[in-house]
């Protein structure tokens, strides 16, 4: 496929380099799987302080793409009869609790996999490198605030995946990393997929960058490995995508998962907005004629994206080592879909809402990690985010406030950021039963407080 049409790959590589330079990203890896063939290329450098050329074999942190690995392991354990998706967490962890007792009692494994538990999910806590790291983290979840009734709305939730990792540890009697490696990574032949920084440093790897400077610390706390701890090559991630587009068989013909389990992971189970949905750990987008399945990831100055189109045996991976990498992952994945599958995705245009219509959304919206303030200025809806906590630990100092951004109304109760580093991101207004505004969801749920 690539040999017959080299210009298409070359043009995508040239576009990737242009996007990297435009957004001041030190290093990028691009990988494509199409009709069974794989191409990978690296661009730029691994680290501005100690620069090495980024190659197709350079390791990057993939952040929350790790959640799909956790989901894959959960499905394997479901098939083994070790886990029931609709069993409560307390079936496995009797002492589990968050601040809301009803949520503590009723939350199921399925709620966690679909980000519908309703509690505050950005809870970053370093509980040490020991085997009890996840157990300590889960015990500290007792104070997590409930932002919405359990099962009512979708809201991205990191803490829920640490909880899933601990459930895996309790049931398997192994560390999360060991259980994942034995059940998923080794059978799939993913030999360049790691958690331990001690393994990573023996290879060429990327460091993250914020504002053009190396981002430190590089490692993530052990507790959050099930939510975002994987470091790997693009080749391993494309092999993983190939498996998820397949029938559950390994290359040697042995079965790792039933095809139905893979299909269930990619079947809509929670609605974000109309045909933008969420399966069991995968984002599922049916807004085009062709279903697109994806997950993104972000760590300290590293942003990644994995997207695949199951009906076309097509996948694209983009790794970046800068906080501004989200624009590169967006632009490159869209260009890849256009060039290889003739799927063109463009941002919707604002509908030209009146000042009165925009004024309805003005207010203060809050969650423990961050607040968002919306106001009218010169007839435009302006947002300002205030980050109240740091990363990767709750005691890390919060970063400076990002610049204000303009939002446009693209349809009733749906907004899009029109400028700045989060340009093209969407946000939804979620209403109470009486029609009043209850929340603003910009990936995470924010309660309206004023």
Residue 195 main-chain phi, psi, to 5 deg:
-115, -45
Tokens in use for 419?
A: 């400028």
Q: Please report the beta strands in 179-256, taking only residues with DSSP state E, as ranges in sequence order.
A: 193-194, 209-210, 213-214, 230-232
CA distance 230 to 6: 32
* Tens-level pLDDT at each residue, the chain (450 residues): 555 556 899 999 999 999 999 999 999 999 999 999 999 999 999 999 999 999 999 999 999 999 999 999 999 999 999 999 999 999 999 999 999 999 999 999 999 999 999 999 999 999 999 999 999 999 999 999 999 999 999 999 999 999 999 999 999 999 999 999 999 999 999 999 999 999 999 999 999 999 999 999 999 999 999 999 999 999 999 999 999 999 999 999 999 999 999 999 999 999 999 999 999 999 999 999 999 999 999 999 999 999 999 999 999 999 999 999 999 999 999 999 999 999 999 999 999 899 999 999 999 999 999 999 999 999 999 999 999 988 777 778 888 888 999 999 999 999 999 998 889 999 999 999 999 999 999 999 999 999
For residues 371-390, one letter each, b for 16 or more C-beta atoms within 10 angstroms of the residue's C-beta and e for the rest, the string is bbbbbeeeeebbbebebebe
Angle between helices 133-140 and 159-172 (to 10 degrees): 130
Tokens in use for 52?
A: 């090495």
Distances 330 to 73, 407, 422 between C-alpha atoms, Å: 28, 19, 11
Model's pTM, two decimal places? 0.96
With contact defined as beta carbons under 8 Å apart, do 376 and 387 qualify?
no
Is residue 77 classed as helix, strand or coil in its secondary structure? helix
Is residue 74 classed as helix, strand or coil in its secondary structure? helix
Place of tokens 């009869």: 81
């Amino acid at each position: 496929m690539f040999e017959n049409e080299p210009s298409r790959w070359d043009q995508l590589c040239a576009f990737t380099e242009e996007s990297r330079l435009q957004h001041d990203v030190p290093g990028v890896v691009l990988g494509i799987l199409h009709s069974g063939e794989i191409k990978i290329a690296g661009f730029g450098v691994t680290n501005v302080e100690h620069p090495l050329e980024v190659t197709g074999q350079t390791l990057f942190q993939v952040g929350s793409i790790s959640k799909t690995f956790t989901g894959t392991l959960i499905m394997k354990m479901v098939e083994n009869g070790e886990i029931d998706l609709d069993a409560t967490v307390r079936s496995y962890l009797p002492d589990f609790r968050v601040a809301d007792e009803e949520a503590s009692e009723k939350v199921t494994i399925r709620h966690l996999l679909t980000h519908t538990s309703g509690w505050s999910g950005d809870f970053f806590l370093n509980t040490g490198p020991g085997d009890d790291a996840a157990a300590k983290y889960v015990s500290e979840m007792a104070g997590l605030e409930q932002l919405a009734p359990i099962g009512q709305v979708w809201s991205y939730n990191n803490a829920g995946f640490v909880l899933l990792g601990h459930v895996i540890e309790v049931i398997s009697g192994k560390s999360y990393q060991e259980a994942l490696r034995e059940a998923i990574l080794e059978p799939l032949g993913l030999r360049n997929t790691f958690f331990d920084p001690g393994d990573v440093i023996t290879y060429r790897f990327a460091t993250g960058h914020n504002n053009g400077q190396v981002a430190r610390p590089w490692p993530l706390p052990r507790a959050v490995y099930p939510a975002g701890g994987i470091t790997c090559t693009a080749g391993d991630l494309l092999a993983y995508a190939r498996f998820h587009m397949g029938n559950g068989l390994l290359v040697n013909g042995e079965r790792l998962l039933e095809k139905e389990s893979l299909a269930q992971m990619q079947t809509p189970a929670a609605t974000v907005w109309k045909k933008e949905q969420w399966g069991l750990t995968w984002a599922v987008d049916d807004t085009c004629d062709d279903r697109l399945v994806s997950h993104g990831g972000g760590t300290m100055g590293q942003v990644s994206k994995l997207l695949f189109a199951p009906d076309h045996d097509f996948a694209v991976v983009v790794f970046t080592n800068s906080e501004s990498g989200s624009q590169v992952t967006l632009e490159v994945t869209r260009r890849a879909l256009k060039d290889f599958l003739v799927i063109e995705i463009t941002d919707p245009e604002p509908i030209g809402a009146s000042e009165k219509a925009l004024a309805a959304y003005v207010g203060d919206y809050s969650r423990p990690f961050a607040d968002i303030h919306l106001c009218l200025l010169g007839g435009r809806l302006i947002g300002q985010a205030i980050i109240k906590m740091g990363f990767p630990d709750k005691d890390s100092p919060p970063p400076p406030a990002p610049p204000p951004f303009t939002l446009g109304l693209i349809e009733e109760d749906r907004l899009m950021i029109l400028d700045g580093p989060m340009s093209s991101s969407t946000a939804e207004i979620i209403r109470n039963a009486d029609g009043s505004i209850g929340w603003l969801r910009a990936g995470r749920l924010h309660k309206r407080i004023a």
